[in-house]
Structure 1
C-alpha cells in the first residue's frame, strides 16, 4: 500500500527528505538545551561564576536560534511536501478513473469516488505531513531525551525505559479497537454523499413531488449514522488522554521521590534534577504525540486503503501494444456474441449474429430492457464481450487503439450531458481545432443552428452545469452536433431525438441522408416513424435479435412490430414536443 501511495510523491521528494532532517536537528538541539541549563545552575549560578553563566548563556541563545530555524524550515518543507503529495494523489486517482471501463465504474459508486478524492485524500495529506514531521519529532525527541536522562542519571533513565512499554501497550489497544470503526465512518460518508448527489441532481423532481421533507429526513438519518459511528470511535480514542495523564502523574511522583533521594545522597545535583524533570516532560510529551499520531493514522489507514483500491484497480479494457490506428470503413459485424454484466446470473445478449454494411441506416427497436443499449455499447468497446467477436471495418474491436475506435464511433445518448462553458467549448469536444464554419455546419445538420443563432451570444452562450438552461430537445441537438464534429464512420443515436418533435427529427434524418451518406447510422428508438425509411430494422427481444428486415417486411412478417406500428399510428405517431 505504501509503495503505491509513495509513487505520488514525485517532484516533492526533496521536501519529503529534507523536512525530517530539519526535525531531527531541531530535536537534538532541544534535548541538549536542558543539559546546558543544568550546567548553568550547578557550575555558574550556585558557585557564583558569572563568566560560566555568560558563556553557556550565549551558547544557549545561539542553539535556540538554530533550533527555531530548523523547526520553521521543517514546518515549511513538510507543508509543501504534504500539499504537493495530495495534489499528485488527486491527479493520479482522477487520471486512473479516466482509464476505467464501464465495468470498472460499475464497481465504484460515484459518491464513493467523490469521497475518496476529497475526504480520504485530505486525511492522507494530514497523516503524511504528520509522518514527515511530528512522527519523526516524537520518536527522535523520545530517544534523545532518554539518552540525555541516562547521561544525567542512569537510575532515572531506567525509569523512563519502563514507562514507555506501558503506554505503548495502551496505545496499541486503542488503535486496534478504533481502526474498524473509522472504516465504517467512511462507508457512511459514501452514503451521505450519494444522498446529497441524488438530491441535487433531482432537485426539480423533489420539488415537483413536494418531497423536501422526505429528503431532509434521509439526509438527517445518514448524518446521524456518521455521528454515531464517529462518536463511538472517538470514545475509544479518548482513553488516550486519561492513560497519558496517569502515566505522567505516576512518573512525576516516582521521579520526585527518586530525585530527592539522589540529591540527599549527593549523587545528583539540583540543576541535574531540574533537567531530569524537563526530560521527563519531553519524554511524556513525545509519547502523547505518538498517541495522537496513532489515532490519526487509524483514520488515515482506512482512507489510504480506499484510495489504493482505486489506484490498483487495473482497467478491464486496454488496447494491445500493436493496436490498429485506423478503421477502413463503418461496417459492423457481430459473430456469436454473448455478454453479461459483472455479477449478473443471466446473459443480456446471447449468441447474437449481425452484419451491417458501411453507410447503412439501421433502426433498433424493442421493448424496454431488451439490451438495445447494451448491444451498441459493445461497438465502441465500452464493455468487452464474454464470448464471440465484434468487428468494425472488418477487424475485431479489441485490435484497435481505444482512442482510434472511439474517434470512429460517435455515440449520442438519451440522457444528454453538456458541460459548464460555452456552446462553442461544448461542441469542440468533438474536435478541439474546429473552425466556426465547421461548427455552423454540424449545427445545421443537427437542426440546432436556428436556435443557437437566436441566442444573444450565439456560440459564446454560457451553458450551465449539465445544460439546465436549455431545453431537453436543444441539449439533444447540441450533443448530436458535437458527435458529428468527430466526423465518425459510425454514428449511434440511442433515443437521442426522443425530446424533439417529429418534424425536427425528420429534418435531422434528411440531413443525415444528404450529408452523411458514407456514415453507418444506428438509431435506437421507440417510435416506428423514426426508422421507417431505414435500410434494415432490428427487433430486440429477450437478449437476442428476434427479426431483421425493412419496414415493409416486418409489417408483413412480425406481429409485435405490426401491432406497435398500428398502435402508434392511432396515437398520432407518439409525437413528443419540447
Structure 2
C-alpha cells in the first residue's frame, strides 16, 4: 500500500490534524482513570465531598473534550479517505484511457471495473480505519502501559505476560487468512465477468434458451466466492473469542494479584480500579490493532491489483518530437505486418496499398481475413510489427495519437452509442455543432426520418448502448457522428451491414456527394456495397490477394470471383 501514499500528499495537513487530535483525545482518556483513582483514594475514602465534586467535574470536562476530539478525528478521517479514493479512481480512469487495445485485452474489462470500484473501496475502508484506529491504538497501548507501570510496576508484569500470548495468536490467525483475501478478489473478478456477459448478452441467452445454463454457471462462481468467504470467516471467527478469553483471564489475574497487594498494604483500591481500566484500554487497543492486521492484508491485495494497472505502461505512446500531418489525408500501407500479442501467425502479412483523397478504397475478404485489423492500425489502436502506416507521408508512430485521430471519422463494426440524447451522441466528435449541422449529418446518414418521427426529435433519449434503437438505426447514428466531424479520413468498418439494400444504396450515394475530398476506407462483406469503389482490396488470410476495380477483379481475381458468385447464389446481385 505504501506505493499509493503519494495520493495522500495533498491532504498532509489534515492527516497531521488527525494525529494531533487523536493524541490529545487519548491523553485525556488516559488521564480519566488517574482522576478516578484520586476520587476513590482521596475523596471517597476520606469522605471529602468537595474534592469528589471538583475532581468529578474535571473528569466530565475531560470526557466531553475527548468525545469532541474523537468526532472531529472521525470526520476528518472519513473526508481524507473519501478524497483519497476519488483521486485514485480518477488516476485509474485517466491512466486506462491511454491504454491501447492490447492492454485492455491483457487485463479484461470486468477486472478493470472491479479494480476501479471494489479494490479502491477496500483500500479506502482500510485507510479510514488506519486514520481512526491504527493511529489511536498504538498511542493508547503505549500510553496505557506507561500509566500502568507508573502506578504499580510489579502488577504490570501481568500485562507483559499476556501481551505476547495475544500478539502470537493474532499473527497465527492472520497468516491463515491473508492468502484467502487474494483468492476472494480473483473470484470477485470472475463474478463480475459472468454478470457482465450475461446482462449484455441477455437476448442471445434467451434466444438460445440458455437461461438455466447461465444460472448454473453463475451459481458455480457465486458458490466458489461464498466458500472462500466462509473459510475466511471461519478463521477470523476465532479471533474475537480468543482475544476476549485472554483479556478476561488478564482481568482475573489483575484482580487476584491486586487483591493480594491491597491486603499487604502495597496498593490502594482506587489505584487497582484505575489499573484495571488501563488494562481494558491496553487490551482493546490490541483488539483494534488485530482488526487492522486482518483488514490490511486484504487492502494490500487490492492495492497490488490497483498498482498493476497504474504501473502498466501503454505499448503505444506519443513520440518525444511528434510530427504534424500536412496534407489531405492520403493513407499508405508500406509492407505492413501485424500480429496480435501471443498469436502464432500474423493477422496482416506484407500489406501494401495507397488510399488517395477523393477516392473510396474498399476492403473485402472472408471472415478473419484481417479487414478490421487493418483499420485498427490507422488510429493506432495497435502498432505494426513491421512496415509503416503513413498519413500524408508521415508514419503514424511519429505523430501524437490525438493528432492522428482528430482527422479521422471512425465508425466501428459494432455501433457504440452512449446514454443521453440523439444530439449529444452526434456531437460526441464535435461539441460545437449546431442543430442544423446535426440534421445535415443525419440527412446524409439516412437517419433524419426516424429522428423526426421521435417525439422529442434531436432531444429524444437514447438508453445505454442504444438499446431502444434497432441495429440499423444505431449504425446510421454512428455514421452521422463520424460525418459531423467533417474529417479528412473516413473509416467505415462494415458499418452498413444492418442496412437494407435500398438504404445502403442511398447512403453510399449521399456519401459520394458530401465527402468529395475525403479519403474513405470502407470494409464490407457485400459486393454491392464495394462495387462502385475507386479501388477494391481483396484480403485473404492477412495477405493482399488483389487490388483493382470491381470489373478488373471480376475478370482476373479468383478469390473475388468466389465472393461474388457466393453472394449471387444467395440471391444478392453483384
The bucket for the TM-score relative to the shorter chain is over 0.9
> Could you tell me which residue of structure 2 aligns to residue 93 of structure 1?
92
CA contact (8 A) 1:327 1:405 kept: no
Residue of structure 2 equivalent to 1:182? 181
DSSP 3-state at the match of 1:156: coil
Deviation of 1:570 (Å): 3.2
Q: 1:11-410 maps to which residues of 2 (within 5 A)?
A: 11-410=10-409
Maintained 8 Å contact 1:410/1:484: yes
Distance 2:556 2:163 in 1: 87
Could you tell me how far 1:143 is from its partner in structure 2? 0.8
Counterpart for residue 537 of structure 1: 536
Instruction: Tell me the distance in 2 between the aligned counterparts of 1:16 and 1:124.
Output: 16
Unaligned runs of 5+ in 2: none
Provide the rounded CA distance (Å) in 1 between the counterparts of 2:379 and 2:150.
73
The two structures have a TM-score, normalised by structure 1, of 0.96
Post-superposition shift, 1:540? 1.0
Instruction: Tell me if structure 1 keeps the 8 A contact 2:325–2:394.
Output: no
Range 276-285 or range 57-66, more displaced: 57-66
Tell me if structure 1 keeps the 8 A contact 2:325–2:392. Answer: no
Do the aligned residues in 2 keep the contact of 1:44 with 1:52 (CA within 8 Å)? yes
| Structure 1 residues 511 and 218: alpha-carbon distance in aligned structure 2, compared to 1, 3 A threshold | same
> Which residue number corresponds to residue 444 of structure 2?
445
TM superposition shift of 1:325: 4.6
Residues paired across the two proteins, number: 574
Give the secondary structure class of the aligned counterpart of 1:147: helix
Residue 382 of structure 1, CA deviation: 0.5
Moved more, 239-248 or 531-540: 239-248
Aligned to 1:493: 492
Q: CA deviation at 1:326?
A: 4.1
Superposed CA offset, 1:307-343 (max 9, x none): 1211222222221233235442211112222212122
**Residue pairs, 1:467-482, within 5 angstroms:** 467-482=466-481
Cα offset for 1:469?
A: 1.2
Shift of 1:10: 5.3
2:406 aligns to what SS in structure 1?
A: helix
Mapped pair 1:553 → 2:552: yes
Contact 1:142 1:283 in 2 (8 A): yes
SS in 1 for 2:7: coil
- The gaps in structure 1 that reach 5 residues or longer are none
Cα offset for 1:101?
0.8
By how many angstroms is 1:13 displaced? 3.4
**1:246: Cα distance to partner?**
2.8
C-alpha displacement of 1:574: 7.3
Distance in 1 (CA, whole Å) between partners of 2:53 and 2:566 is 105
CA distance in 1, matches of 2:384, 2:195: 35
Distance (Å, rounded) in 1 between the aligned partners of 2:519 and 2:480: 16
Do the aligned partners of 1:334 and 1:352 also contact (CA within 8 Å) in 2? yes
Distance change in 2, residues 1:126/1:239 (3 Å): same
The yes-or-no answer on 1:526 pairing with 2:561 is: no
* C-alpha deviation, 1:360, in angstroms: 2.1
Give the secondary-structure state (helix, strand or coil) at the position aligned to 1:333: strand
Report if aligned partners of 1:327, 1:408 keep a CA contact under 8 Å in 2. Answer: no
Mapped to 2, the partners of 1:370 and 1:233 lie a distance apart of: 50
CA distance in 1, matches of 2:157, 2:526: 87
8 Å CA contact 1:420–1:467 kept in 2: the answer is yes
TM-score w.r.t. the length of structure 2 is 0.97
Once the two structures are superposed, what CA deviation does each residue of 1:430-475 show, in whole Å capped at 9, x if it has no partner?
A: 2001011211111111111122122221111111111111111111
- How far is 1:216 from its partner? 1.6
Q: Is residue 2 of structure 1 aligned with residue 2 of structure 2?
A: yes
Task: Say whether the 8 Å CA contact 2:355–2:521 is kept in structure 1.
Answer: no
Deviation at residue 172 of structure 1 after TM alignment = 1.8
The CA distance in 1 between the partners of 2:358 and 2:261, in whole Å, is 100
CA distance in 2, matches of 1:481, 1:321: 35
RMSD across aligned positions (CA): 1.6
1: CA distance between counterparts of 2:168 and 2:390? 63
